[in-house]
Amino acid sequence: MNPLKQKFLIIKLSSIGDIVHALPFLRTLRANYPHAHIAWVIEESFQDLIKCNPDLNEVIPVRTKYWRKNLNIKSWNEICQTNKLLKGRCFDWTFDLQGLIKTGFIARMTGAPNRAGFHRGNCREKINTWFNNHHSKYLSANSHIVDRCLSQLSVLGEFQPQTEFSLPIRVEDERTSEVFMTKNSKLTEKPIAGINPGAGFPTKLWSVERYAQLGDKLTEELGFSILLTWGPGEEELVRNIAASMKQKSWTAPATTIAESIGLYKKLALFIGSDSGPFHICWALGIPTVSVWGPTDPNRNGAYSKNHKSVFQKLNCSFCWKRRCPLGTTECMDKVTVQNMFDAAKTLVSEDVKVLTSPKHSVH
């Protein structure tokens, strides 16, 4: 087939971290097929992450989460419209980078003759392999998700991976952070450390009290200003951190995903757990310190050097459970404030410009 006419569809619906992990796949595909039509089907609520990406010709937002919770005429009509749109694009290849039953259905909906997916052993839902007719080779259980996504390119040939994480946003989305920084000029007088206490499920949460203690130490000993960031449903967490801190902190405004990217660009350091903001920050090149328990940083962590993963390995670590089967939060509780601070201090000495006064020097 003439590569100038090839049409590719990437299927990666959610969440923030998973979409970030798939960006090098897109960059590599575009680098090797500069004239192809490349589209990406994505959950509507996450399209901010890719809608300005220059490597894409088309973003196709869907509402699978809404459809599953609202089985009615409106949902059915949307599904039929999506099915018609996907078939009408006449894609030559689909690449299912999620490995779920629902993403397998989407691949089949396209009618594409070539549908690539993961090896059965790398699929989150094994039935996914039934929907695809090309599969990548098996990668070990602890292989990074970025590498798993890139492995699907093997169905097209051998390519040099382009491990770039592009998160461009519109000028108007940048403006939100500019206005906030202007209104809070004291915040910008020192390097800014962002603390985000949120996470996708309860077992990945570190305690509010420890985040507050860590924020104080970063302020007192390393000379940072502390910016508390939050997403939907997390505002109370940052309020509690701010109330528990002895030192002054600032709380970020409510933002869209695109606006949050603009805000995170202002940071000199990010502190958090395995969460969407963490993945955005390391992809932007922001030095990060993250706390881990139920998920494995070797598989899901930062795909960069200026990052410190902090965890205490237990027999039950990296269980991938949303709720602890043992009824505890021991894997997260074992990580102390000092553990996180030591990691931040090491990272600061390597990657972050801090205040040059003797009080804030790093030894």
User: Residues 13, 50: one domain?
Assistant: yes
Q: What number is the average pLDDT over the span 214-219?
A: 98
Q: In whole numbers, what is the pLDDT of the chain averaged over residues?
A: 93
Residue 358, pLDDT > 60, answer: no
pLDDT at position 320, please?
Answer: 78
pLDDT at position 304, please?
Answer: 84
Token pair for 219: 């302020």
Query: 257-264 and 171-183 are packed helices; what angle lies between their axes, rounded to 10 degrees?
Result: 50
pLDDT (tens digit, 9 = 90+) per residue, 70-83?
989 999 999 999 99
pLDDT at position 308, please?
Answer: 96
User: Residues 149, 206: one domain?
Assistant: no
269 forms beta bridges with 193
pLDDT (tens digit, 9 = 90+) per residue, 181-207?
999 999 999 999 999 999 988 999 999
The residue from 155, 187, 213 where one domain ends is 155
pLDDT at position 139, please?
Answer: 94
User: Residues 151, 176: one domain?
Assistant: no
pLDDT (tens digit, 9 = 90+) per residue, 10-33?
999 999 999 999 999 999 999 999
Whether residue 226 contacts residue 195, with contact meaning beta carbons closer than 8 Å, is answered with yes
Residue 342, pLDDT > 80, answer: yes
User: Residues 301, 255: one domain?
Assistant: yes
Q: What number is the average pLDDT over the span 172-177?
A: 96
Residue 276, pLDDT > 80, answer: yes
pLDDT at position 352, please?
Answer: 61
The domain that holds 209 is classified in CATH as 3.40.50.2000
Q: Is residue 277 part of a domain?
A: yes
Distance CA 171, CA 279 (A): 22
The residue from 130, 155, 180 where one domain ends is 155
pLDDT at position 355, please?
Answer: 45
Q: Which amino acid is at 114?
A: N
Q: Is residue 363 part of a domain?
A: no
Q: For the chain, first and last CA: distance in Å?
A: 60
Q: Is residue 166 part of a domain?
A: no
User: Residues 101, 223: one domain?
Assistant: no
Distance CA 105, CA 94 (A): 12
| 3 state DSSP class of 134 | strand
Q: Quick one: 2 exposed, middle or buried, by C-beta within 10 A (0-12, 13-18, 19+)?
A: exposed
pLDDT at position 97, please?
Answer: 98
Number of domains in the chain: 2
Q: Is residue 362 part of a domain?
A: no
Whether residue 93 contacts residue 5, with contact meaning beta carbons closer than 8 Å, is answered with no
Residues of the chain with pLDDT > 90: what percent? 86
Q: How far is CA 361 from the centre of its chain?
A: 32
Residue 354, pLDDT > 70, answer: no
pLDDT at position 305, please?
Answer: 85
pLDDT (tens digit, 9 = 90+) per residue, 83-124?
999 999 999 999 999 999 999 999 999 999 999 999 999 998
Residue 273, pLDDT > 90, answer: yes
Give the residue among 136, 88, 139 at the shortest CA–CA distance from 112. 88
Whole domain around residue 314: which residue ranges?
172-355
Q: Is residue 57 part of a domain?
A: yes
Q: Higher-confidence residue: 252 or 316?
A: 252
| Alpha helices, DSSP H, located in 50-187 | 64-69, 73-89, 101-110, 145-151, 171-183
40 forms beta bridges with 10, 59
User: Residues 110, 31: one domain?
Assistant: yes
Token pair for 45: 């609520």
Give kind and range of the element (H or E) at residue 351: helix 337-351
pLDDT at position 318, please?
Answer: 85
The residue from 155, 185, 220 where one domain ends is 155
User: Residues 204, 249: one domain?
Assistant: yes
Q: Is residue 160 part of a domain?
A: no
pLDDT at position 356, please?
Answer: 37
Beta-sheet strand order (sheet of 225-228): 250-251, 225-228, 192-195, 269-273, 288-291, 307-310
Q: Is residue 165 part of a domain?
A: no
User: Residues 85, 179: one domain?
Assistant: no
Residues with Cβ < 8 Å from 179, sequence gap 6 or more? none
User: Residues 212, 141: one domain?
Assistant: no
Distance CA 139, CA 119 (A): 8
User: Residues 340, 219: one domain?
Assistant: yes
Q: Quick one: 235 exposed, middle or buried, by C-beta within 10 A (0-12, 13-18, 19+)?
A: middle
User: Residues 206, 330: one domain?
Assistant: yes
Count of alpha carbons within 13 Å of 262, Cβ hemisphere only? Answer: 22
Residues of the chain with pLDDT > 70: what percent? 95
pLDDT at position 319, please?
Answer: 87
Q: Is residue 71 part of a domain?
A: yes
Q: What is the DSSP string of 57-96?
A: SEEEEE-HHHHHH--SHHHHHHHHHHHHHHHHHT-SEEEE
User: Residues 268, 310: one domain?
Assistant: yes
